[in-house]
Structures are given as structure tokens and as C-alpha cells.
Amino acid sequence: MAWELVNGTIITPHDVLERGSVQIDKTHIQHVSKSSRKSADTMQIDVNGMLVFPGLINCHDHLLGTYVPRVGDRRPYLNWLEWDNDLKSAPVYAERQQIDSSDLYLLGGYRHLLCGITRVQDHIPHFVREAFAKNLPIRIISDFAMAHSVTSFALKWGDGIEAEHAKAVKNNIPFITHCSEGYDEETLRSVETLAAKGALSKQTVLIHGIAFSDKDMDLLAEHQCNVVWCPVSNLYMFEQTARVKELMDRGINVTLGTDSPMSGSFSIFEEFRTAREFYRFAYGAELDDKVLIDMMTTNAARAMCLSDAGSIADGKAADLLLIDGAATNPWAALTHADYSDIMLVITEGQPKYGDIAFAPVFDAMKIPYQTIMVKGARKIVAGDILGLQNRIRRAVKFKKELDFLPIEAA
């Protein structure tokens, strides 16, 4: 079905097009312009100046870990393994294990949808994701090579660092691994190890990097590597995070990731807030709002090798986010947003979540939805989010409250 958003403030994200229109045909953007293309076959939706962004791309999560509360009584940790041992022995882990894995994946999808995220990188072996990630309301990035991490105690994911990196280079897909997530001797040598294995390139995506040295960062810049910054998770587990200004000053492509809510943020809103606060504390300066949005749009698309994502232009995927906010500084409007400000989320040309005012669009496109309250705002969402909430409560045998899913029936 062809349809068109008209009278919107289009953030491409590098330029701002006021009173613009975005014409959508099936799963892709057909045309972006300052004027609408009126057609009898096209449904037009006047968005009354709302800010229209590319859908946000979350470059790091573990969707099977979509649960709360956060775990970790011995912070700060030496490395990820110490935290993981505490996770596996925590009562909340046993509680989470009662929930069907497909429902945890679905929960992760809705967690991100409510914040305007339309794609996520789920860091786990492909066979696990392929078994459980079905009928999600957002898109999962599935085309990548991987390792768990770069130490002798890494989980045995993939076919080995050299083989996985070679696969990434051959197929122009990302090679993604946790890296420098801790302070033990092996973890501190992670970048050195990758360099020795010939696994540093523009395909390389390194998650966390809290222990990067100056020499490490110089190597990453030389080889055009990418870094996923996860400030909430890092500060929670290690009371430290990546030296993001030094990374950006070297021209390294930096993106954002939430990690799972058992160590990371409940929402991208929390991630934005923590990123700003850390930058202000560490550097005595403000982190530009546009830089944060670039991290989740153009930078993320570059890191994940997604040619169809990260911007609003003819031929790109119709993954879009509409929010309320002032056109004078649209990037700040998004980085300071909350749940109630999310007005419409579109993935692959289909509305999936939005304000009740967009119900006629869902109806016209015959998309089943539920009406819910989200932080006091009346919203509609595709699928059966309330049924999911009830299944989780039945599984754990009590009325579980999930901070990252602030919903109730309307």
C-alpha cells in the first residue's frame, strides 16, 4: 500500500526539511520532498509539523536477557565473567528461566519499539536467535560475523576470530565482538590480540571498550574500526566507560547500544541521559545532541553495513520515528524525549506503535492493534502486548512489573 506523511519536519538526519513529505511504497521510501505528490491511490496523513526521524538503530543488546531487576552485588567487576557468574546464581535469573524464550525475544522487541528503535543487533549465536526471534515488532540485524569476546574465557561463539573476520570482509558484513570489557590482563590486551589475528578493519565492530589505551585507539583509527558505546551498562558494572571523546577525536565511528536491562539501560531515553551526564562529568563540556542522534542513525548504519538504513532518502527502508518537539533543535527534542513524546513508529512501511490519533492509519491498513496507556498517554500498538504481559506473569506466578515496559490496558 502506498501512503504519505505530509506537513512534517523531516530530519534526514543531517538536514531539516520543514513542511516536508515522505511517500512510502510497501517497505521503502519512494520519495522525500518539500511538497506532496497527491494521488488518488495514495493515503495522505497530515502530521502537523511533527518531527520525522529515521528509525533508531540499537547496536548492542541480548534479547534473551530482557528482564529486570539489574544484577550485580559485587560491583565494580574485574570483567564480564565475574558479573555473568553472579547473574547465573541470582534468584531473578531462575525466575527469568521460567519464561518462554520466544516471549523474552518478543518482550525485547516491544521494549525497543516503545522508544522508537526500529532495528537492533542481538549479540548471540545465530542458531539461538533464529529459533526464537519470530514475529517481532521491530527488525533484528541478522547478517553479521561474530565472536563473543577476545580472551581465553570467551564463550565459543562463531568459528573463531580469524575465520569470522574473514567472512565479514568477504561478504561486506560487520564482524562484531565484545572487546576490552574489563581490567584483567587478557582483557587489557584485547585490541593487541585482534591486531595479531588480522581482525581489525572497517568491518570490525567492538562493543564496550572501557579499557582501551591510547595505543589501542590509535590502532582502531588506523584500521577504521567501529565502537559501540554502552554507558549505562559500563557504569553499572564497572563504574567506568569508554573514553568516548578520545575515540571521536580520532575519527573512530562510535554508535550506541543499550545492552540488556539486566545490566544496561531500561530505555534509550536513559542511555541518552546517561551519555550526556557522563560526558559533562568527564570532559566538562556538553555532548552535542546531533552527535547522539548520529550514533543511532548514520553511524549505526555504517557500523552494521546497512545501506538501506540510518537516513531518510529516496529508496531507503521505510523505518521511521515521529515525535512531538520543536523544530528549532530537533536533535535535542529526541535526546530529551520520553515515552509520551513518541507519536508514531514505522518499520518496513508498516505502523507498529503510536499515538491514539493514528488509529485511522492502522485501521486503513488493516493492522490489528491494542489500546494501552504508556506513562499516562493513550497509545496503540500492533500485536498482542497485553497478552505477552499476562503470559509472563503467569509464567513467574505473580504480577511482575517491568520498568522497561510501562504499560497497562487502557
- pTM (2 decimals)? 0.98
Q: Could you read off the pLDDT of 269-284 as tens digits, one per residue?
A: 999 999 999 999 999 9
Nearest-CA neighbor of 59 among 238, 259, 291? 259
Q: Could you read off the pLDDT of 226-256 as tens digits, one per residue?
A: 999 999 999 999 999 999 999 999 999 999 9
Q: Could you read off the pLDDT of 8-41 as tens digits, one per residue?
A: 999 998 899 999 999 999 999 999 998 776 676 8
CB contact burial 200-234 (16+ within 10 A = b; e otherwise) = bebbbbbbbbbbbeeebbebbbebebbbbbbbbbb
CB 180 within 8 A of CB 217: no
Q: Which residues are within 8 A (CB) of 356 and not within 5 positions of it... i.e. 6 or more apart?
A: 371, 378, 379, 380
Domains detected in the chain: 2-54+310-369 (2.30.40.10), 57-303 (3.20.20.140)
Give the ranges where 180-297 is alpha helix by DSSP (H): 185-188, 190-196, 214-222, 231-238, 244-249, 268-283, 289-295
With a cut of 90, say whether residue 267 has pLDDT above it. yes
